[in-house]
Amino acid sequence: MKRSRYREEQIIGILKEVEAGLTVAEACRKYGMSQWTLYSWRKKYQGMSVSDAKKLKALEDENRRLKKLVADLSLDNAALKDVLSKNW
């Protein structure tokens, strides 16, 4: 996954600037990004504080780790079922 140029704290700061009256075009020019990036950030982070964003990131990391665990266990389960299904 591509790493963002900006941390969550910086993204929330940029969004707060836009909410305070900075236009989208000016913010995009100032920070060197596209409008679509700003809109996707707005969709994901609008109304969040920095602590909320950190909690979201921690939950996303935990979710990613748990999905990997489930995938590994299901592969092990399928391999064991395959071995047990063969006639000895």
Provide the CA 17 distance to its chain's centre, in angstroms.
22
Range of the domain at 35: 8-85
Residue 3 lies in a domain: no
Q: What is the mean pLDDT of residues 20-28?
A: 93
Residue 87: pLDDT band with limits 50, 70, 90: low
Residue 31 lies in a domain: yes
Domain count along the chain: 1
Residue 78: pLDDT band with limits 50, 70, 90: very high
Instruction: Indicate the pTM of the whole model.
Output: 0.64
Q: Cα separation of 58 and 15, whole Å?
A: 21
Segment 29-73, tens digit of pLDDT? 999 999 999 999 999 888 888 899 889 889 999 999 999 999 999
Per 3-state DSSP, the chain is made up of helix, strand and coil in percentages (nearest 5) of 75, 0, 25
Residue 2 lies in a domain: no
